[in-house]
Amino acid sequence: MTITPNEISNKEFKRVFRGYDMDEVDEFLEQILDDYEKLYKENITLKEKITSLNEKIEHYANMESTLQNTLLLAQTAADQAKESSRREGEMIIKNAKDKAAEIIREAENSAAEINKKNEILKQEYNMFRSRFKALLEAQIEAIDRAGIELSSRNVEE
């Protein structure tokens, strides 16, 4: 049980024959009362301060926990964003490669088609040239024959 300054102040002692000097006891008790009252008040102040500091420690511990959770969430979000960006980049590269392969395939098919048409045109040209040459040769021969017939008619006339 804690003794309060009031209990020290109000304490009454029995009076006995041949006891202590009352003035000296009262003076000593008064000095103890003053010292005890100072200590008592200081103790209350320190307890309040401890309570306040404990509340602040708890507040800061909660803030630290919140910050750690926030940092963890931020790190997780950053990792997810990084992974998402990596996957998106891979997808873009894959799509670009597929598109490039398709363009190359179309260009190769187009080149093959152009080469095929070129070969057909060469064949048609060669065929036309051969027919035209044959026609010209037939015409020259017809002219030569007609010239021979003309000459022979002129000679006959």
The CA-based dihedral angle spanning residues 22, 24, 25, 27, taken in that order and rounded to the nearest 10 degrees: 120
Of residues 40 and 15, the one with the higher pLDDT is 40
Whether 135 is covered by a domain: the verdict is no
What confidence score (pLDDT) does residue 34 get? 86
Look up the domain containing 79 and give its range.
Answer: 21-111
Rounded to the nearest integer, the mean pLDDT of the chain is 89
Of residues 77 and 155, the one with the higher pLDDT is 77
Of residues 70 and 152, the one with the higher pLDDT is 70
Whether 34 is covered by a domain: the verdict is yes
Whether 58 is covered by a domain: the verdict is yes
Backbone angles phi, psi at 122, to 5 degrees: -60, -45
Number of domains in the chain: 1
Whether 105 is covered by a domain: the verdict is yes
Tally the C-alpha atoms within 13 A of residue 85's C-alpha that lie toward its C-beta: 6
Q: In 3D, which of 88, 36, 61 has the Cα closest to residue 53?
A: 61
Whether 71 is covered by a domain: the verdict is yes
Is this model's pTM higher than 0.85 or not? no
Residue 71 has pLDDT above 80, yes or no: yes
**CB distance 4 to 37 below 8 Å:** no
What distance in Å separates the CA atoms of residue 43 and residue 40, rounded to the nearest whole number?
5
What confidence score (pLDDT) does residue 154 get? 62
